Amino acid sequence: DQQVKQNSPSLSVQEGRISILNCDYTNSMFDYFLWYKKYPAEGPTFLISISSIKDKNEDGRFTVFLNKSAKHLSLHIVPSQPGDSAVYFCAATASGGSYIPTFGRGTSLIVHP
C-alpha cells in the first residue's frame, strides 16, 4: 500500500515553461516532505524540502507547495531547463522518527530544448 503517490510516471515540458510535479500522501503522521532528483546511473540527490508548518518553500527556480488538508504537494520548476531532465522522487517522513523517508515511484521529467 503506497503511502506516497506520484501518479504521473512522466512529464514532458518545453524549455522555459513551468514544470509541475505532483505528489499525494496518505499517512497523516508525515510532517516533513522532500524532493529528490535522480539522473541515470546516479543516486538520488536532495533538491528541496518543506515542513508541515509551512505551505511554501522556494529555492531559486524550485518551489514546493504543500496543501495539508488535501495531503498534496507539488514541485514547480520555473523556468524549466534541459538540464532539469531527470526522475523526481517525492518523499515524506514523520517527526520523531529516524529520518527514513518513504518514497513515491518517481516522475520522469523531460525538458525539450
Partner 1 sequence: EAGVTQFPSHSVIEKGQTVTLRCDPISGHDNLYWYRRVMGKEIKFLLHFVKESKQDESGMPNNRFLAERTGGTYSTLKVQPAELEDSGVYFCASSQVGGSEQFFGPGTRLTVL
Contacting residues toward partner 1, per CB under 8 A: 2, 4, 9, 32, 36, 41-46, 89, 93, 98-106
Q: In angstroms, what is the minimal distance from the CB of 90 to partner 1?
A: 10
CB 8 within 8 A of CB 89: no
Q: In the structure grid, which three cell numbers stand for residue 71, read together?
A: 495531503
Nearer to partner 1, 85 or 93 (CB): 93
What's the closest the beta carbon of residue 97 comes to partner 1, in angstroms?
9
> What is the distance of C-alpha 67 from the center of its chain?
13
Closer Cβ to partner 1, 3 or 74, answer by number:
3
Among 86, 92, 88, smallest CA distance to 71 is for: 92
Choose between 67 and 95: whose C-beta lies nearer to partner 1: 95
Cell numbers linked to 39: 539522473
